[in-house]
Structures are given as C-alpha cells and as structure tokens.
Amino acid sequence: MTQPSPIKIVVLISGRGSNLQSLFHAQQAEQLNVEFAAVISNRPQAAGLQFAQQQQLATTVVDHTRYSGRESYDQSLIEAIDSHHPQLVVLAGFMRILTPQFVRHYAGRLINIHPSLLPNFKGLHTHQQALDAGVEQHGASVHFVTEELDGGPVFLQATVAVEADDTAEVLAARVLPQEHHRSPAAVQLIAEGRIALVDGRLYFDDTVLYEPIQLGG
C-alpha cells in the first residue's frame, strides 16, 4: 500500500516548544505523516528555536516587538508562513492573540492546542481557573482557530482528574503529557484526511462531528 504524501506544516511557538518536540518525535517514530516546512517564533530567544535548529528544521523569527500594531505584525507573519506553502499551521504555545485578518486567511488550516476542556477556561491561567471553579476533571483540547479566542470547533480532548490537593503547578504537570500525546494524534487525523472543517462544520470520517473525540488521561 502506497504511503500518502506527508502534509506540510508550519509550527508557531513562543517558548520552549514542548509540543513541537512531541510532534517531531512522533514524526521520527513514523506516527505522524508530516513535513516540517518551518518553525516560526515571535520571540528570538524562544528555547524551541534551538531545538528546531538542532533537528535541522527551518526556523524564522518574526519579532513582535519590532511592530507598532497587531495588524502589521500579523501581515508579516502571514508572509513568512506563506513562503513555505503549508497545508496546516499549528499553534504550539504561540502566545499571541491573532487578528481576524490572520484567522480568516488560514480558515480550516489553523489549529491550536489549549490546556483546558474547552469551552471551559478560555485564555490564560487555565489550571488555576479549573481549581478556582472546583471542577473534578480538567484536560487539554485541540481545536480549529476562529475569530473567537479559544472558541473554534474542538475535535479532540484528553481528560485528567483534578485531585483535592492539586496546585496549579501540579495540575499543569498532569495535563502537559496529555497535550504531548494528543497533539500528534490530532495532526495525524488531519494528515489522513479524517478530520476537516468545512463551512464552519466539523467532519470526522466524512460524518458531522457534534462532540469532540474524548481520550482519557
């Protein structure tokens, strides 16, 4: 059986790039059928850039501090991404709120890994939000990005139990491995053509997906 051609992806990071590393290791283990077209960061000192360079992946910095506004920054970011002609853009710890212009440009081709069970706990400090709310389950979500912050269609989630003595740091440490395990799975579903966003509606194996695929922790 002929192996399908890998899809080209660009990964956007702002920090250590731990989800980038999980994607790379899955690809090396032949569990993820992608070609890393580039790794792009808004921070020149992002530790994930060093990892990418060590693996001989193409890297680019589009430093947000050199721009006067979000619109001009995102336009330059679009140009940097599009020079690699990716089929998918993965936000892997990219700590920027994206403009509607950017999101529309990559409609159906832009996914994010978020450390909560969306639609609960959007934005930052999700683990503390979960503790403050007293929930019994927390986790991570992979979703297509829309103009609503952390509000796009979610197609994959992983859950972990919240323990009575958890701190935000302890809970974060329990959730992070789930991000690392599920982000390659999510990208592989797209690479295989099994997950798609068409006209704002999620499809899984050509059937409308009404609830996220749930994976236990």
User: Mean pLDDT, the chain, as a whole number?
Assistant: 96
What is the rounded CA–CA span in Å between residue 141 and residue 178?
A: 9
Label the pairing between strands 59-61 and 137-144: unpaired
Tokens of 66: 């050199």
Q: Is 114 a catalytic residue?
A: yes
pLDDT digits 0-9 by tens, 14-69: 999 999 999 999 999 999 999 999 999 999 999 999 999 999 999 999 999 999 99
- Does residue 122 have a pLDDT over 60? yes
Q: Give Dmax (Cα) for the chain.
A: 52
pLDDT of 4 reads 84
Q: Identify the active-site residue in 105, 114, 143, 180.
A: 114
**29-43, 97-111, 134-148, 202-216: least confidently modelled range:** 202-216
CATH code: domain 7-216 is 3.40.50.170
Q: How far is CA 145 from CA 22, 104, 108, in A?
A: 20, 9, 8
pLDDT tens digits for 158-186? 999 999 999 999 999 999 999 999 999 99
Regarding pTM above 0.85, the answer is yes
DSSP 100-162: HHHHHHTTTSEEEEESS-TTSS-SS-HHHHHHHHT-SEEEEEEEE--SSTT-SPEEEEEEEEP
pLDDT of residue 30: 96
